[in-house]
């Protein structure tokens, strides 16, 4: 039995079934045994690949939106450029390279990363060698200043609870101990005040997911952007409103049973962007936009062509494949979305209209 399974079973024996959120949090971020705490899970030889790891084009275009909106808001000095869950630091490195030529942008910014994993903090430090990086445990710890913020596949790693509709109440899906292993079971029926608004668009048997940390984080981002100026670009898979069971475990690029090998697989759930957008008021939010559409509007095809004139052999094929993976509806183009936050007093962001 793995140390993680042993300690989950012990916890269930001591204090009863775990919510899916407790289970996710324990598996992903246990201080010594957690999935993110103990490894770099990214890349071809790891468990999953993300947009910035697929191609530099992703970070370059994101960098241009950030710099463009900074100019548009009057090029404030002393801004916080921040990323949550930066993985290997690739996205931030690409953003910084792409914005080097924007006069004054680098001089105005200080760099802040919100990262829970010591292993990944070390990777990020390496990727951003030459820059002065400050690490934080939480978005709330970022300095109070105009905020240029980005997150890719960060919100999908935050723990969710799952509820199944039963009449006018809900039963929570929980993780129990079963013959020395883990299993799922439903709790008793209870009315849940925070799910009141979902009685209108669900019926008995439907599942809804609730990510408790998401709204406070979005509200923190929105307040700072409304107060000090700035923008947030939030990329993730998901949709406007959560419906259905989206808990997913991935190991070595394959979907696996979330309860098998706890702490050994990435656990994620679809992001409910409506919750983020509403919590971010008084900041304005963009329309929720498919990643493929967004990147096309920002000129990813022209960027790929420009890079291709310098590419030879394999790299040209790689560029074509990367462009397709990032934008095509059969790949990440439609499943992945981007939501932007900006001050209501300013014009909307490029790439969204």
Chain contacts with ligand SAH (rule: CB under 6 A) = 36, 42, 50, 52-53, 85-87, 91, 114-117, 120, 152-154, 157
Buried b vs exposed e over 62-93: b needs ≥16 C-beta within 10 Å?
A: bbbbbbbbbeebeeeeebbbbbbbbbbbbbbb
Least separation in angstroms between CB 77 and ligand SAH: 27
In the complex with ligand SAH, the residue whose CB is nearer, 12 or 116, is 116
Least separation in angstroms between CB 252 and ligand SAH: 16
Least separation in angstroms between CB 329 and ligand SAH: 20
**What are the angstrom distances between the C-alpha of 256 and each of 2, 4, 265?**
17, 17, 8
Counting Cα atoms < 13 Å in the Cβ hemisphere of 43 gives 8
Least separation in angstroms between CB 266 and ligand SAH: 8
In the complex with ligand SAH, the residue whose CB is nearer, 40 or 206, is 40
In the complex with ligand SAH, the residue whose CB is nearer, 38 or 334, is 38
- Which residues lie closer than 8 Å to 182 by C-beta, 6 or more apart? 5, 8, 9, 175, 176, 259, 262
Q: What angle do CA 216, 137, 99 make, to 5 degrees?
A: 90
Least separation in angstroms between CB 199 and ligand SAH: 30
In the complex with ligand SAH, the residue whose CB is nearer, 19 or 117, is 117
Least separation in angstroms between CB 114 and ligand SAH: 5
**Cα 222 from Cα 225, distance rounded (Å):** 5
**Cα 174 from Cα 16, distance rounded (Å):** 10
Give the orientation angle of helix 56-72 with respect to helix 90-99, to 10 degrees. 50
In the complex with ligand SAH, the residue whose CB is nearer, 30 or 323, is 30
Residue 76 is classified by DSSP as: -
**Cα 325 from Cα 297, distance rounded (Å):** 16
In the complex with ligand SAH, the residue whose CB is nearer, 49 or 110, is 49
In the complex with ligand SAH, the residue whose CB is nearer, 117 or 275, is 117
Least separation in angstroms between CB 321 and ligand SAH: 18
**What are the angstrom distances between the C-alpha of 170 and each of 18, 153, 192, 199, 307?**
16, 29, 7, 10, 53
């Amino acid at each position: 039995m793995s140390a993680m399974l042993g300690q989950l079973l012990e916890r269930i024996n001591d204090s009863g079934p775990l919510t899916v959120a407790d289970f996710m949090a324990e598996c992903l971020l246990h201080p010594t045994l957690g999935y993110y705490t103990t490894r770099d899970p990214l890349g071809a030889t790891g468990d999953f690949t993300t947009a910035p790891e697929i191609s530099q084009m992703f970070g370059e275009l994101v960098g241009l939106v950030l710099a463009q909106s900074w100019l548009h808001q009057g090029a404030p000095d002393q801004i916080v450029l921040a990323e949550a869950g930066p993985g290997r630091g690739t996205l931030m490195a690409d953003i910084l390279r792409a914005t080097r030529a924007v006069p004054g942008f680098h001089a105005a910014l200080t760099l802040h990363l919100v990262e829970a994993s010591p292993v990944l903090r070390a990777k990020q430090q390496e990727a951003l060698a030459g820059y002065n990086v400050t690490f934080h445990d939480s978005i709330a710890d970022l300095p109070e200043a105009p905020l240029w913020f980005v997150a890719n596949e960060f919100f999908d790693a935050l723990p969710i609870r799952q509820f199944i509709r039963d009449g006018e109440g809900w039963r929570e899906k929980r993780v129990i101990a079963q013959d020395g292993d883990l299993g799922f079971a439903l709790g008793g029926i209870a009315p849940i005040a925070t799910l009141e608004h979902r009685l209108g668009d669900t019926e008995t048997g439907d599942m809804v997911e609730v990510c408790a940390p998401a709204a406070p984080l979005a509200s923190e981002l929105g307040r700072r952007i409304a107060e000090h100026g700035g923008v947030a670009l939030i990329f993730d898979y998901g949709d406007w409103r959560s419906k259905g069971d989206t808990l997913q475990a991935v190991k070595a690029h394959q979907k696996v049973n979330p309860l098998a090998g706890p702490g050994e697989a990435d656990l994620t759930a679809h992001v409910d962007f409506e919750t983020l957008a509403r919590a971010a008021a008084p900041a304005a939010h963009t329309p929720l936009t498919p990643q493929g559409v967004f990147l096309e509007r920002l000129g990813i095809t022209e960027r790929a062509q420009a890079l291709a004139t310098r590419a030879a052999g394999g790299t040209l094929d790689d560029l074509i494949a990367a462009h397709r993976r990032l934008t095509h509806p059969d790949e990440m183009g439609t499943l992945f979305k981007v939501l932007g936050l900006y001050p209501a007093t300013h014009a909307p962001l490029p790439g969204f209209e």
